[in-house]
Amino acid sequence: MQIATNCGSFTIRLAVKISPATTASFASLAQKGFFTGTIFHRIVPGFIIQGGDPTGSGSGGPGYSTVDIPPASTRYTLGVVAMAKTGAEPPGTSGSQFFVVTTQDAQLPPDYAVLGTIAKGQAVVDKIGQLGDPSSGGQGVPTETVEIEKATVTVH
């Protein structure tokens, strides 16, 4: 899957075997144009970039959720793409919000459904990852608008 942004493009190799419901839902949303015009609403330098919320507020989604409980051995390391969820939702719950890890190891518990890994364009992810306000106390307030122009599903 390719994510084209106003900062460049990156490609996600989807983790179909680990998260079949999550990847199928994400691909379906992309094919319907769901992500077009959404922004990375949370950018925490040295941690993650997060997008996929149609409201841009951090609380929006597609109106439904899927569940793919990640294996207990799951680690969220550089280039891993996983689905964001609220603390109240069970492990593996996902809607449309996703995050990309921009540090060697985010030290997160195995609670987030794995969407895939960055296959191409890590430099673009790193560039986006620098566009968060480091003084926002981990809130990840972007210093610039990073918009998803198009998400494209490719089959290999």
- N-terminal to C-terminal alpha carbon distance within the chain: 10
- Domains in the chain, CATH or no CATH each: 2-152 (2.40.100.10)
The pair of three-digit structure tokens given for residue 64, joined into one six-digit string? 């439904």
Answer whether residue 120 shows pLDDT above 80.
yes
The residues, ordered by sequence, that sit 6+ positions from 1 with a Cβ below 8 Å of its Cβ are 11, 12, 14, 26, 27, 30, 116, 151, 152, 153, 154
- Predicted confidence (pLDDT) at residue 75 exceeds the cutoff of 70: yes
pLDDT for 105 equals 97
Q: Is 23 helix (H, G, I), strand (E, B) or coil?
A: helix
Q: Give the DSSP H/E element, type plus range, for residue 83.
A: strand 80-83
pTM as predicted: 0.97
* Average pLDDT over every residue of 101-122: 98
pLDDT at 155 over 80: no
pLDDT of 123 over the 90 cut? yes
Q: What percent of the chain has pLDDT over 90?
A: 94
